[in-house]
Amino acid sequence: MQIALLTLFPEALEPYLRASILGVAQEKGLVRVQTVDFRDFTRDRHRTVDDRPYGGGPGMVLKPEPVFDCVEWLEREHGPYRKILLTPDGERFRQPKAHALAKEERLLFLAGRYEGFDERLRSELAWDEVSLGDFVLSGGELAALCVIEAIARLVPGVLGHHESALRESFEQGSLDHPHYTRPPTWRGRNVPDVLKSGDHAAIERWRANEAHQRTRARRPDLLQEPQTKTA
């Protein structure tokens, strides 16, 4: 999978992209994340990416031309990308969308800044417009990293045990079950006996029941949803 991440702050993202799961995925050659500074596609002496909003008001708006030229160049070099625009007014990002995007060969993420993008850029290209939630970040970089990480861990081979990604919260229409490790007793709290019993069927039943109870208590909305892994 080839990922292009368009941002004005590539240097802020690169250490994270080299670390942990994403770093390993890239070392294994399963995912490649390329950060691209769309300021490099400006044509004026001052390398201007933003301007004042028509109609007045505070803040600056990102101009359409540098991003458009950057996308055109990438598609000329590599072929078409599925394009994802990070924006608070987009569709809320959820696990089924991560599964759908994990099947793509090429993904392009665009991280905004300031007041966001000129509306014409949004309508000129076909974007999946994605929000991380009902809050406003100062830029789309962290949102893009979250979405990229959620997708990359679903690419077969990225996690040591692919099965573990498919047993986590939101995969089976429920939250995850509780987890325990050693020591068996810590500050007077014991690991449930069933987990030490070696009875795999009983352990599976206990985990399914705990996951269900937790989901009913914390996220009853998930129990009402049709089960689907695509979006």
Which of 4, 108, 132, 165: binder of ligand SAM (CB under 6 A)? Answer: 132
Smallest gap from Cβ 74 to ligand SAM, in A, equals: 18
CA distance 138 to 189: 42
* R_g over Cα of the chain: 21
Nearer to ligand SAM, 82 or 214 (CB): 82
Q: Would you count residue 66 as binding ligand SAM (CB under 6 A)? A: no
Nearer to ligand SAM, 144 or 152 (CB): 144
Q: Would you count residue 131 as binding ligand SAM (CB under 6 A)? A: yes
Residue list 95-124, contact with ligand SAM (CB under 6 A): 111-113, 115-116
* Residue pair 218/176 in contact by the 8 Å Cβ criterion: no
Q: Would you count residue 36 as binding ligand SAM (CB under 6 A)? A: no
Q: Would you count residue 57 as binding ligand SAM (CB under 6 A)? A: no
Please give the residue whose beta carbon sits closest to ligand SAM in the complex: 112
* Distant-in-sequence, close-in-space partners of 56: CB < 8 Å, separation ≥ 6: none
# binding residues, ligand SAM (CB under 6 A):
19
Smallest gap from Cβ 7 to ligand SAM, in A, equals: 10
Which residue, among 150, 142, 156, has the nearest Cα to 170 in the 3D structure? 150
Question: If 0-12 CB within 10 Å is exposed, 13-18 middle and 19+ buried, where does residue 9 land?
Answer: middle
Binding site for ligand SAM (CB under 6 A): 86-89, 111-113, 115-116, 131-133, 135-140, 143
